[in-house]
Structure 1
Amino acid sequence: MTELSSPPGAAPWNTTTTHRHRARHPGLRAGVALAVVTAVAACGTFATSSGSGSGSGPSARDTTPDPAATAEAGAFLADWAGGRLDSAGARTTSPVKAQEVLRNFTVGLDISGPELTPEEAVRQDDGTVRVAFTAKMPVTGLGTWTYRSELPVRQQQEGGGWKVDWTQSLVHPHLSDTAKFRLEREEATTPKVTDRKGTVLTGEAHPSLRPVLSQLAGGGSGPRGAIRLVDRVTGEIEGTEATFGKEEVQQSDGPVATTLDATWQAAADKAMADKAGGRNASLVALRVDNGEVLAMANSPATGFNRAVSGTYAPGSTWKIVTSSALLLKNAVGLDDVVDCPKYLTVGKEFHNVETSEFPGATFRKDFTKSCNTAFISLRGKLGDSELGDVARDYFGVGQEWHVGIPSFDGSVPVPKDETEKAASMIGQGRIQANPLVMASVTATAASGRFHQPTILPGGAPGGDTTSTKPLPPSVVTQLRTLMRATVTEGTAGVLADLPGDVGAKTGTAEVSETEPNNGWLVARRGNVAVAAVVEQGVTGGASAGPILRSLLAAVPADPS
């Protein structure tokens, strides 16, 4: 989000106008991830100004504001920030007018979640208390407008209560009976973006691509707009209070080619719309042999691109990496008995989903049934940094990727203690990933070699700066066996009726003690690896499972 300061003075609200420009402002209609700030206004905790002395002598004057006045100012700002405009208006000397102006200001300028920070309260000679404040006003889809103003707070009668002495200029110094604000947004035609076969990709046909089409087409110049100060009668512009967006970027004449596949993208968007149940969710599909991204989808379709920029604990899908680390040093065999009790305490109590247990289970069964306690019991087989080393050296996780759009490329910190090491074995603790990362992990496990994911043919600008080693063929064979068994006899049975040699791993990632777990599923079929996460999905098989099944059922063949 871009934060902008307005010149001294201005006044926002009223109509929104749109200007159309020809193909030179990419993505002005594209979805923009908006981080809405929840305001926390002080309530009677303002600093006070000191007077001209400590109180000695006949000329000394106490300028300390009445605490009740500062409390009322704080309460007004808190109500305004929290959207309680009727309550904010009631704290003023003109409740009806104040409520009307505050509502017109926020609604007319598409402002949501303002942050209002009070400064020092000062008592004036006439007894009025003035409280300066900084306003940060998030304008939907554009950025944050920042300016300063102040509140006058006046005691209503001798010994009576305090109220904000209403005037339009306290909302913004330039807002008045003769001038108001107008929000203007610019619209531009985005240059064409095509899939791997030359099919044009659009936000209308592929909703999840809206946040990235402008990045692909024009270097991410993003949406543009401005807040103008205008005459209330004539509408004539008197000044510009804030501008949003980068300068125009001249585009090349030809379309921008990508590795995406329109058929896979359409199926991914449909799977999200039909199976995510309105929850936050995302998925990525990519080619195993070269890392080319075929599709990415998000729920909701517009806004933050969780699929490539999200940060999540990967949960039990991370057991692919953990298993690789154990198999690389022959620390465990698939038929070795690794008991799976209900609980295991390592600084804290760990348990399995639904507190399941499998006494005398083999490592193969521990993987297919996703036994947390069994994996944690093997933590002594790995050095403290070994899991992160394997993730980086073989799977490329945590190295810098050049995907072609902004991405988060995973993080595997060295555990701080034994409890965190135990959590890391099952994809918890401080391990962070997203569907892009986990689709890549799945592809690496299936092929034995990491290929940097990319959305641009031939790779993104910056090139492939990663450095990895191939997994030994024996490890790859064992990983493929484990993932296939997870479909045929384990927790990924939701994919069992799909044609082809499908391998998978489910995941359940704990978020907090009070929120439902996130659900994960990764899978590989033929030359495609896919990964999906559903926030608060509880389990991977029940939440992410139907999404990936819908996708793979709709696109039975590998892409060309």
Structure 2
Amino acid sequence: MTTTQRTPGRGGRRAPLPLALAATLLLGGCSLLPGDEDEESVDPAAVAAARGFLTDWAAGGYDRAAARTDSPEAAARTLRNFTEGLDITRSRLAPERADTVKDGARVPFGARLTVRGLGVWSYRSAVTVRRADPEGKGWVVHWELPLVHPRLSDRAKFGLEREETSTPTVLDAGGEPLGLATAPSLPVALSLAPGKGAARGEIRLVDRATGEKLRVEKHFGPRGTPHKERRTTLDAALQSAAEKSLAARAEGKNAGLVALRISDGRVLAVANNPATGFNRALLGRYAPGSTMKVLTSAALIEKKAVAPGDSVPCPKYLTVGKRFHNVETSEIPGASFRDDFTHSCNTAFISLRERLADDELTSFASSRFGVGQEWHTGVPTFDGKVPAPGDDTEKAAAVFGQGRTEANPLVMASVTATAVSGRFHQPYVVPGAGEKATARTSPLSANTVTQLRTLMRATVTEGTATVLRDLPGEVGAKTGSAEVTEEGEANGWMVAYRGDVAVAVVVEEGGHGSESAGPVTRDLLAAVPD
């Protein structure tokens, strides 16, 4: 068989474009996208003139672009006013296949213009090029207003109208406003900060003489009337106590707090320090440290793998792939499991790891406590992670809340509420959000709940949480110190309950949870009605 080789040219098959020519040309934050190069009947110089104009315009070189036109002064003024007046931060102009027209050529193009803080405005227009002189030497862009946009004319121009955004008024569970002066954490905690996710605006075509709106060319943001109020499940007294305590007792450290109602999961307070910083309370990803022992204990007790009175030694060190130790390398001679819990012995819990299957803590956290499932709280949240360990060392770390386990005050307040009630109630901040709950869990046994409450109560009366001992009523707690680095100070944790309220507090680099998170927890629980 004979193969005929064709020479590129008119009527011939063209070789593929080099990859470099097919890539997007980036210019000063703007870009020009190449179109079809196969414009066989159009003078390549005419196409180059049109593309040069678009390249300069896209790059913000208005004077350079205007110099390529037959009306440089008017072109430069219009391009600058159009871009700056509509607050366009990036222009992407994509030339398409050129066509011949009378006395020249026409190059259509697609425009994608980014309007600051609102979004992208897309449309199509075209550049017309003509001979620069009667002798046919060179090409020049024919300047006309519709080149910029087909509806731009001597009678009509475009204007940008932004809708003023303001933080909605936050209402507590009773429908009363929560003032930002006393609850400064709420805009960030509830994702209500102005301009975040709900910016609105319009590009309008208006009459140049009267300013009358002729049409809406582009609408940005959600339609309809914006919500001026945001109803929540928050309790005004507890929210105020949380804000004041973090500001006064966190000693300038990053911290987060969540309190919720045990019986139904309603979030009663959510606060961060600093109030306008990262939303640690709901979106943080921390190792929960020894507060995780509440969940681990539930898994062990539920399967009758251990009981509070059982002897479980608490040595200073235990090696499982690496050397683990207790806080300040403490030990408890002749320890029972009750002693190990109330005084937070890491090595004792590590020694019990073999009584749980490798993935048992992961499945138990999800199936009983809802951790790692998707929650619908009404605001953005991170809902915890207890991954299956990759080896025995990771499993040893997981049982006392280190390794790859991640949580935040919302997750640990929920863990506490589940432990002392026996049933997971999905937390929620916005009324009605709980009705969309998809997490599926099974309850803990009554025996497990009774033992967990007893252990947490003993932690307050004689263990590491005695900072809460003078509070009236049944108060239970668990402290934690979660290591972040070998050299740095540990994060301080405390989870606790009083009446129908569960609370969790984390203080970054706070060290002992009893000393850093303890006073904040006490202030919050002291505000719970007797």
Measured in 1, the distance between the counterparts of 2:354 and 2:244 equals 44
Measured in 1, the distance between the counterparts of 2:523 and 2:515 equals 13
Measured in 1, the distance between the counterparts of 2:227 and 2:300 equals 52
Aligned match of 1:328: 302
Measured in 2, the distance between the counterparts of 1:6 and 1:291 equals 53
- TM-score (structure 2 length as normaliser): 0.65
- Following superposition, the deviation at residue 312 of structure 1 comes to 0.3
Amino acid at match of 1:473: A
Measured in 2, the distance between the counterparts of 1:401 and 1:253 equals 23
Deviations along 1:456-492, one digit per CA (max 9) or x if unpaired, are 223257x010100000000000000000000000000
- Following superposition, the deviation at residue 8 of structure 1 comes to 4.7
2:250–2:516: 8 Å Cα contact kept in structure 1?
yes
1:485 aligns with 2:458: yes
Aligned match of 1:299: 273
Q: Tell me: higher relative CO, structure 1 or 2? Use CA pairs within 8 A at least 6 residues apart.
A: 1
1:214–1:222: 8 Å Cα contact kept in structure 2?
no
Aligned match of 2:400: 426
Give the alignment partner of residue 439 of structure 2, picking from 459, 466, 481: 466
Higher radius of gyration, 1 or 2: 2
Measured in 2, the distance between the counterparts of 1:216 and 1:404 equals 15
Aligned match of 2:179: 202
Measured in 1, the distance between the counterparts of 2:337 and 2:515 equals 24
- Following superposition, the deviation at residue 215 of structure 1 comes to 4.0
- Following superposition, the deviation at residue 205 of structure 1 comes to 2.6
2:168–2:192: 8 Å Cα contact kept in structure 1?
no
Deviations along 1:280-307, one digit per CA (max 9) or x if unpaired, are 1000000000000000010110131110
Aligned pair count? 367
Provide the alpha-carbon RMSD of the alignment.
3.0
- Following superposition, the deviation at residue 9 of structure 1 comes to 4.8
Measured in 1, the distance between the counterparts of 2:509 and 2:227 equals 44
- Following superposition, the deviation at residue 549 of structure 1 comes to 1.1
Aligned match of 2:134: none
Alignment CA distance shift 1:327-1:214 (3 Å): closer
Aligned match of 2:75: none
Correspondence 1:331-370 to 2 at 5 A: 331-370=305-344
Q: Percent of pairs identical after alignment? A: 60
Alignment CA distance shift 1:355-1:263 (3 Å): same
Correspondence 1:69-88 to 2 at 5 A: none
1:398 aligns with 2:375: no
1:247 aligns with 2:221: yes
- Following superposition, the deviation at residue 328 of structure 1 comes to 1.0
Aligned match of 1:523: 496
1:534 aligns with 2:507: yes
Secondary structure of 1:294's partner?
A: strand
Aligned match of 1:455: 429
Deviations along 1:510-542, one digit per CA (max 9) or x if unpaired, are 101121100000000000000000111111001
Measured in 2, the distance between the counterparts of 1:223 and 1:428 equals 40
Measured in 1, the distance between the counterparts of 2:193 and 2:262 equals 22
Structure 1 gap ranges (5+)? 12-140, 144-183, 226-244
Give the alignment partner of residue 380 of structure 1, picking from 344, 354, 377: 354
Measured in 2, the distance between the counterparts of 1:291 and 1:360 equals 39
Alignment CA distance shift 1:550-1:253 (3 Å): closer
Measured in 1, the distance between the counterparts of 2:335 and 2:162 equals 62
2:186–2:192: 8 Å Cα contact kept in structure 1?
no
Measured in 1, the distance between the counterparts of 2:179 and 2:172 equals 10
Moved over 6 A (4+): none
Aligned match of 1:501: 474
Alignment CA distance shift 1:251-1:486 (3 Å): farther
Structure 2 gap ranges (5+)? 1-23, 31-115, 119-160, 202-218
1:191–1:251: 8 Å Cα contact kept in structure 2?
no
Measured in 2, the distance between the counterparts of 1:521 and 1:539 equals 9
- Following superposition, the deviation at residue 190 of structure 1 comes to 3.2
Measured in 2, the distance between the counterparts of 1:382 and 1:488 equals 29
Aligned match of 1:221: 197
- Following superposition, the deviation at residue 222 of structure 1 comes to 5.0
- Following superposition, the deviation at residue 406 of structure 1 comes to 0.6
Amino acid at match of 1:556: V
Measured in 1, the distance between the counterparts of 2:246 and 2:227 equals 33
Deviations along 1:18-66, one digit per CA (max 9) or x if unpaired, are xxxxxxxxxxxxxxxxxxxxxxxxxxxxxxxxxxxxxxxxxxxxxxxxx
- TM-score (structure 1 length as normaliser): 0.61
